[in-house]
Amino acid sequence: MRWLWMLASIIAVLTSLAASHARAQTCQQLWVERNQFYKNHGYCFKTQRAINFFGNGGCSINDESAVPLTSAERGRIAQIAQEERAMSCDTDGGGGGGGGGGGGTAGMTCDQLWVARNSIYKAHGYCFKTERAIQHFGNGGCTFQNEGDIPLTQAERSLIAQYGAQERAQGCQ
């Protein structure tokens, strides 16, 4: 039964993936699609926006890093997050490490830059080492101990470099 559910989830993700490439999605549509994965797994939303939209009825998981997402779901969430950043969407308000993020980094706070940069690492299973990152993202499901081992795309490397450059320019700690 569990395999059947997992297969159905993978098919749904792949279908969603194909559909999303066939048409442009709005920021709201991306936000809903991304957070629907968390809702489907019983995540208890923390932001008023997500609670108003999805509700928290039947939720059972308070720690975002404990949500049992499949690798296909994690991949789609990472892809959605990239699309949201490229479109300068407001990603606050749900699961998936939402917070900050837009195509331009100049208007972002130090915390928003830090979250945006580290969300890319989290989406790929990086095992954080600093207490701040562990408290914010957790290390549940992490698989990569070394940053250099993470299979990042060129676009992700570019975003990380942009966020890091802006953090340095703003004197972030």
Question: Using an 8 Å Cβ cutoff, are 49 and 35 in contact?
Answer: no
Q: Is residue 36 part of a domain?
A: yes
Six-digit token pair at 147? Answer: 């940053």
Question: Using an 8 Å Cβ cutoff, are 124 and 137 in contact?
Answer: no
Q: Is residue 99 part of a domain?
A: yes
Query: 133: pLDDT confidence band, cut at 50, 70 and 90?
Result: very high
pLDDT at 128 over 90: yes
Averaged pLDDT, 64-81: 88
Residue 149 DSSP label? G
Question: What is the residue range of 124's domain?
Answer: 15-169
Q: Is residue 7 part of a domain?
A: no
Max mean pLDDT range (57-66, 72-81, 115-124, 137-146): 137-146
Q: Is residue 28 part of a domain?
A: yes
Q: What is the pLDDT of residues 86-123, one digit of tens each?
A: 888 876 656 654 433 334 566 678 888 898 899 889 88
Distance CA 83, CA 77 (A): 10
What is the number of domains present in the chain?
1
Query: If we measure between CA atoms, which residue out of 50, 42, 37 comes closest to residue 76?
Result: 37
Q: Is residue 5 part of a domain?
A: no
Q: Residue-wise over 13-37: b if at least 16 C-beta within 10 A, else e?
A: beebeeebeeeebeeeebbbbbbbb
Q: What is the pLDDT of residues 15-56, one digit of tens each?
A: 544 444 444 678 888 888 898 889 899 999 888 888 877 788
Distance CA 123, CA 25 (A): 21
Distance CA 82, CA 42 (A): 24
Q: Is residue 8 part of a domain?
A: no
C-alpha radius of gyration, the chain, whole number: 16
Q: Is residue 4 part of a domain?
A: no
Q: Is residue 115 part of a domain?
A: yes
pTM of the model: 0.44
